[in-house]
Structure 1
Amino acid sequence: MYAFEYRRPTSLAEAVSILGQSEEGKILAGGQTLLPTLKQRLAQPTELIDLSRLPELKGIREDGDGLFIGAYTRHAEVAHGDLVKQRIPALAALAGEIGDRQVRNLGTLGGSIANADPAADYPAAVVGLKAVVKTDRREIACDDFFTGLFETALEPGELIVGVRFARPEKAGYAKFRNPASRYAMVGVCVAKFGDGVRVAVTGAGGSVFRVPEMEAALAKDFRPDAVAGIAVPADGLNSDMHGSAEYRAHLVTVMAKRAVESCG
């Protein structure tokens, strides 16, 4: 690792101030991506700003008909939280499939979506469950938050405070995971709301995306068979040693069907 200054603020205002004054500061939450990056010397921050002492960023609470989850809330807390299981069980199930037990006990919601890994699970939940990302400056709608490969709408120095997830009538998540990394080769979140259906796909492309054809079909007939004959184009999808673009396109349909089946 390179030399850096370690900072551990005790309030959100202090964290924002340190980040704003830092020349090349990096936020440290669960550290599941940042620490390996530092070990490989792929990043050279001047400061590490540890958010572990900020109570404003932790916890799960009801927010109207939905749930607000603090940015520093760990995956395991989402997976096992009674409120999540009661209000949005599909979100709890999704969090329970992230990585392994060690990752779930350290990784955080805010860190995951800020990193915007194209194979991460949470982006599908954020987009599929009509979430709103709250920062220290504003609120960002889910369809505007993820902008590309490891890219988000966050501005320099902007800090995620938490995420509000809307409560669907029904929702489900299914993924085909890489057996080694447990990242999603393809993951699909399907959610039915009073005003329509959302189908969000992670792992298949450079960033999370929706499938309007499947959404329209499920709005008319919310059954697995409704999407069985709908295929997404392979053009632009990821292709690597683990699976071709054509294979991932096929998996989108398969996982969408399984996500609908899991809704009960």
Structure 2
Amino acid sequence: MYNFEFVKPATVDEAVAAMKKEGAQALGGGQTLLPTMKQRLASPESLVCLSGMAELVGVNAGDGAVTVGAATTHAQVAADAAGSYPALADLASNIGDPAVRSRGTLGGSIANNDPAACYPAAVLGSGATVTTNARSLSADDYFTGLFETALDEGEIVTSVSFPVPEKANYQKFDQPASRFALVGVFVAKYPDGVRVAVTGASEGGVFRWAEAEAALSGDFAASALEGMKPGADGMISDLHGSSEYRAHLVGVLTRRAVDAAG
């Protein structure tokens, strides 16, 4: 590691002010940023710690939604959302290992937007609203590509509000070494239709599988997806699995998620 400034603001306003300094980088749970810094793949001059601020921590249910503070750990989401949004809690309970779940945060995960991370699938699959210090963004507008989001420089995620669906489930095929999703599928059924979000598969990051959404909105049953899978073009192909294999997994996991949700 190298020398850098560590800033621990007490409020979001203080954090926003600290982020205006040249070379500043927001620090959530540090599960991605700190290893990246150790490998010299990133070298921020100042780390602005977002943990410990009460206004960014907590899980609150009401008015048909579950709102999660950006600095809430995966472990807390797994525990506190179990009664109000079981599918979200189950997803959080299977991220990484206990050490990762005790440090990693929702805000850190979606700000980084790793193409194999689990939370982006829940956010997009739920049609959630991402709130920052400056504005609110729909999930469909928030994720813009591989490791890319609509966040402006210095903008900080403060909370995410998840509309609670009638039924939902997340299915993940683990990459066993990293516990990231080789492919993960989040399915959520709402009164006005079904949303299907896929992580781990696409070179463009998390995406909605529109054909599956249309089929399931007409008939919420795994049989409605019989023989269906997305095209392999644009899917990730690496030593862990070919693009064709990932496309096949998307179909399999979507059917499993529908069965489990039903």
When normalised by structure 2's length, the TM-score is 0.98
- State the shift of 1:228 in Å: 2.2
Number of positions where the alignment pairs a residue of Structure 1 with one of Structure 2:
261
Mean Cα deviation higher: 163-172 or 220-229: 220-229
Aligned partner of 1:251 in structure 2 is 249
TM-score (norm 1): 0.97
Residue of structure 1 equivalent to 2:216:
218
Residue 112 of structure 1 and its aligned partner are, at CA, apart by 0.3
SS of corresponding position for 2:30: coil
**Counterpart-to-counterpart distance in 2, 1:55 and 1:103:** 21
- Alignment correspondent of 1:45: 44
Determine the structure 1 residue equivalent to 2:4. 4
2:161 matched residue in structure 1: 164
Give, in whole Å, the separation in 2 of the partners of 1:237 and 1:205. 4
For residues 143-198 of structure 1, what are the alpha-carbon distances to aligned partners after superposition, in whole Å with 9 as ceiling and x for unaligned? 01111110000000000001000010000110111011110011000000000000
Structure 1 match to 2:141: 144
Cα-Cα RMSD: 0.8
Alpha-carbon separation, structure 2, partners of 1:42 and 1:231: 36
Runs of 4+ in structure 1 displaced over 3 angstroms? none
Worse overlay, 224-233 or 145-154: 224-233
Could you tell me how far apart the structure 1 residues matched to 2:52 and 2:244 are? 45
- Show structure 2 runs of 5+ residues with no match: none
TM superposition shift of 1:2: 2.5
C-alpha distance in 2, partners of 1:53/1:121?
Answer: 23
Q: Can you list the C-alpha shifts for 1:108-128, whole angstroms capped at 9, x where unaligned? A: 000000000000000000000
Residues 1:57 and 2:56 are matched in the alignment: yes
Letter in 2 for 1:16: V
Asked if 2 retains the 8 angstrom alpha-carbon contact of 1:201 and 1:209, the reply is yes
* Deviation at residue 52 of structure 1 after TM alignment: 1.9
* SS of aligned partner of 1:188: strand
CA distance in 2 between counterparts of 1:229 and 1:166 reads 30
SS in 2 for 1:87: coil
Gaps spanning 5+ residues in structure 1: where? Answer: none
Q: Deviations over 1:52-109 (max 9, x none)?
A: 231110001124210110000000111111xx22221110111111011110111000
- In the other structure, the counterpart of 2:259 is 261
State the partner residue of 1:69. 68
Is residue 111 of structure 2 the alignment partner of residue 114 of structure 1?
yes
Does 2:184 align with 1:187? yes
Query: Aligned with 2:131: secondary structure?
Result: strand
Q: After TM superposition, give the deviation of residue 25 of structure 1 in Å.
A: 0.6
Counterpart position of 1:238: 236
The separation in 2 between residues aligned to 1:216 and 1:23, in whole angstroms, is 46
Q: Deviations over 1:175-232 (max 9, x none)?
A: 1110111100110000000000000000001311111111111111111111122110
Mapped partners of 1:228, 1:33: distance in 2: 37
Paired with 1:53 and 1:172, the residues of 2 have a C-alpha distance of: 30
